Amino acid sequence: MVRWNQILNTDGHDRRHRLQDEMRNLLPTANRHERQPPSPIDPKEVTKIALRLKHQIEQVIPCELEEEAVSKPHSSIITNAVVETARQAGGEHNGSCVVYCLLVVKKWFKQQALVELWDADLHDVRAVAAEIMAKRIIESEDNLDYLLGEVLLKRYSILINDEPTVPANAIERAVDLHALTVIGSSGYQKCISYLWRGWLVQDDEDPSRFVDYENKTNTDFWSHLDPDRMRVPQYQNTVQVAMTLIYLALYTGAINTINPSGDLDIVEGLLYVFTLGFVCDEISKFWKVGRYYIGFWNVFNCTLYALLLVSFVLRMVALGHSLDTPERGHFNELSYNFLAFTAPMFWMRLLLYLDTFRFFGAMLVVLKVMMRESLIFFALLLVVLVGFLQAFVGMDLTDSKLQDVGFVVEAMLKAIMQSPEFDGFDKFAPPFGLVLYYIFTFVVMVILLNILIALYNSAYEDITGNAIDEYLAFFSQKTMQFVRAPDENVFIAPFNLIEMFLLILPFEWWLPKPKYERLNDIVMGVIYSPLLVFTALLETRDAHRVSYNRRRGEEDDDRVHEWEHILHECDFEADGWDKKVQATKPNVEVDTAVLEIRKLKEEVGELKELLLEMKDKVGGGWGSETLARSGFGDGEAHEKKGESSDNNSREQE
């Protein structure tokens, strides 16, 4: 406990690091400069509940165990009694934050594993136990409204150095911690599904609360024709995919219709307008989120936009020259070369918006992990490259002239690409140059590249072996990116240019807020009108299905499958089939050997009871002869009987 207090009470640098870690959201719930809604439960009380759960897990797992012993179904360690005790950590009134606290405890154990490396395996197992307990609490909750509204979507805070952290809910915390076990639970995925469909929306008056969509069961078409429904993640993703396909089509048309004169046609003009919209969108998100927004795809997109910007600038430079001048043709050709250079990036960018499909989503996770594992290879390669390059440069300077650096760098790069060339090194500082290049080739091609292959293979096996949970985590993360920071007016790039230049600049600074919101709704209704008609038809159909499910007493998203069509006509208890099944079904919760031992224990207990009953009857007056015949007398009777038998034998002799 003392060591854990040391972890909580860190110095100023660690304190800032922890607070930043708590603020590291995929997207913020609101503008960073605005005040966040407070936690509905006192952060100090939430922290105490988390500490209770941490103490419980430390007692349940006092020593290092195999992870499988904790994570397997029907574990003998994380029993129903342990889970029920964890559920009671919040008492009668604060039980809704237990799942959130268990995720906080998981994070604490992960941090403690980094601090105490000698007990890292123990703390990792305890972190797994916290996640397993959270999953079982989620799946055992019968009240769906309570589970979604209070347990998973209510935002809570804890105290770090007497300061409350930014409120977050269990859905966000699980995504941030990559808690695959919790993310893969049925209740969690039902919540994600409701958020993705727009059946759960943020309350306009209190953004910290999520409420049911008021028109979920409304079968009126016109009530669903609402521009505000563009906040729904499913519809935003649809628009993004459509804009990406149009963007790709514009690029294909521009690159395949080269203008020798260098003039901009309508296709190229729209391509650069789209690019401007995407650039403004990236800048806006970076401004709101900060440096935590930077990721692989952001860098990838920014690189693409930078190349397109260079192409556009070169085109403008070409237009600045006369039509028949060679400078115009040169800059025009150079502009098209930069534009053609971005073709692979345009098609790779399409993967970013196809991640909602299971195949592409799983493969993107594999690629992401592989890129992260590549950092180890490139760190080792950089050290090796610098060392050998310095040796070659030193050999080249023996005659006080630096002449062969280009040749050496090119040869080293070819060796990395598994195409070494030894010609020329026999004349380079013989025999040291050739020997050193042989050593470099061996280190890079045999050692480092095989390390990279092993890292890639390990990453691929880890992800594909758990592909379903990884995809669910990826999909949950994408959903939360839309939910965490929904704009009041959703203008997806390149429509954000309309918002910037036709709404914000001319109207927002002077128009009253109600009228300005009305103006935004009208503009959004015009822009998204084709999609809104389709979404209204879709939601009207869903409203009929939800109403039908509620009449049957089923959940809103229930679907009648083919095996359920005549299920209501079957009564397995009445025809005796259920009794036969119960009599022959195996017990999968307990190991067979344990079951046999328990059966033997019961039989020994029954035998003991029979012995005690016979002993009581003997004490009731049966007599020693009866005891002798029965063989269940006390030790003294048997001894006397034995002595009498011995005396009779001696007399006969």
Mean pLDDT, 10 residues at a time, the chain of 653 residues: 40 42 42 58 92 95 89 87 92 90 95 92 94 94 90 92 90 91 92 92 78 89 88 91 93 86 84 93 84 81 93 89 83 90 90 79 79 82 89 74 75 84 76 85 88 84 78 88 72 90 88 88 90 92 90 84 81 87 82 82 89 79 48 46 49 44
Q: Are strands 200-202 and 210-212 parallel, antiparallel or unpaired?
A: antiparallel
Same domain, 276 and 367: no
In order of 247, 250, 271, 334, 493, the CA distances from 313 in angstroms are 19, 19, 14, 11, 22
Angle CA 354–367–349, to nearest 5: 40
**Residue tagged 């309309």 (tokens):** 498
Alpha-carbon Rg for the chain in angstroms: 36
Same domain, 391 and 325: no
Same domain, 345 and 370: no
Contacts 24+ apart (CB under 8 A), 118-122: 119/64, 121/64, 122/61, 122/63, 122/64
- Crossing angle of helices 98-115 and 170-177, in 10° steps, is 30
Instruction: Provide the CA 402 distance to its chain's centre, in angstroms.
Output: 52
Query: What integer pLDDT is reported at residue 599 of this predicted model?
Result: 85
In order of 115, 625, 636, 646, the CA distances from 650 in angstroms are 82, 22, 21, 6
Same domain, 195 and 287: no
Same domain, 347 and 283: yes
Q: What is the DSSP letter of 428?
A: S
Query: What integer pLDDT is reported at residue 270 of this predicted model?
Result: 92
* Residues contacting 371, CB < 8 A, separation 6+: 296
CA-to-CA distance for 534 and 536, rounded, in angstroms?
Answer: 5
The encoded tokens of residue 306 equal 């930078």
CA-to-CA distance for 570 and 54, rounded, in angstroms?
Answer: 48
The encoded tokens of residue 581 equal 């099944």
Whether 370 is covered by a domain: the verdict is yes
Give DSSP secondary structure letters for 309-368.
Answer: HHHHHHHHHHHTS-TT-HHHHHHHHHHHHHHHHTHHHHHHHGGGGSTTSHHHHHHHHHHH
**Residue tagged 């046999």 (tokens):** 596
- Helical H runs in 417-528? 432-442, 449-464, 467-484, 496-498, 513-527
Domain boundary among 353, 374, 404: 353
Same domain, 184 and 76: yes
* Residues contacting 62, CB < 8 A, separation 6+: none
Number of domains into which the chain is organized: 4
Give DSSP secondary structure letters for 507-538.
Answer: IITTS-HHHHHHHHHHHHHHHTHHHHHHHHHH
CA-to-CA distance for 572 and 551, rounded, in angstroms?
Answer: 24
Same domain, 64 and 199: yes
Give DSSP secondary structure letters for 113-175.
Answer: HHH-GGGHHHHHHHHHHHHHHHHHHHHH---HHHIIIIIISS-B--EETTEEPPPB-HHHHHH
CA-to-CA distance for 21 and 110, rounded, in angstroms?
Answer: 13
Whether 311 is covered by a domain: the verdict is yes
Domain boundary among 446, 475, 504: 475
Same domain, 76 and 195: yes
The parent domain of residue 168 ranges over 2-212
Whether 173 is covered by a domain: the verdict is yes
Instruction: State the burial class of residue 87 (Cβ atoms within 10 Å of its Cβ: 0-12, 13-18, 19+).
Output: middle
Whether 243 is covered by a domain: the verdict is no
Question: How many C-beta neighbours within 10 Å does residue 232 have?
Answer: 23
Query: What integer pLDDT is reported at residue 620 of this predicted model?
Result: 56
Closest Cα to residue 304, out of 267, 344, 268? 344
Same domain, 42 and 182: yes
CA-to-CA distance for 68 and 75, rounded, in angstroms?
Answer: 9
Same domain, 193 and 68: yes
* Residues contacting 355, CB < 8 A, separation 6+: 361, 364, 474, 475, 478
Q: Is the preceding peptide bond at 431 cis, omega within 30 degrees of 0?
A: yes
CA-to-CA distance for 538 and 199, rounded, in angstroms?
Answer: 13
**HSE of 420, CA atoms in CB hemisphere, 13 A:** 16
Whether 506 is covered by a domain: the verdict is no
Containing 308, the helix (H) or strand (E) segment is helix 296-319
Whether 409 is covered by a domain: the verdict is yes
Same domain, 134 and 185: yes
Query: What integer pLDDT is reported at residue 653 of this predicted model?
Result: 42
Query: What integer pLDDT is reported at residue 83 of this predicted model?
Result: 93
Whether 585 is covered by a domain: the verdict is no
Domain boundary among 475, 498, 532: 475
- Please answer whether residues 389 and 409 qualify as being in contact, where contact means their C-beta atoms are separated by less than 8 angstroms: yes
- Crossing angle of helices 432-442 and 358-396, in 10° steps, is 160
Same domain, 366 and 410: yes
In order of 38, 85, 208, 288, the CA distances from 285 in angstroms are 24, 43, 21, 5
Whether 169 is covered by a domain: the verdict is yes
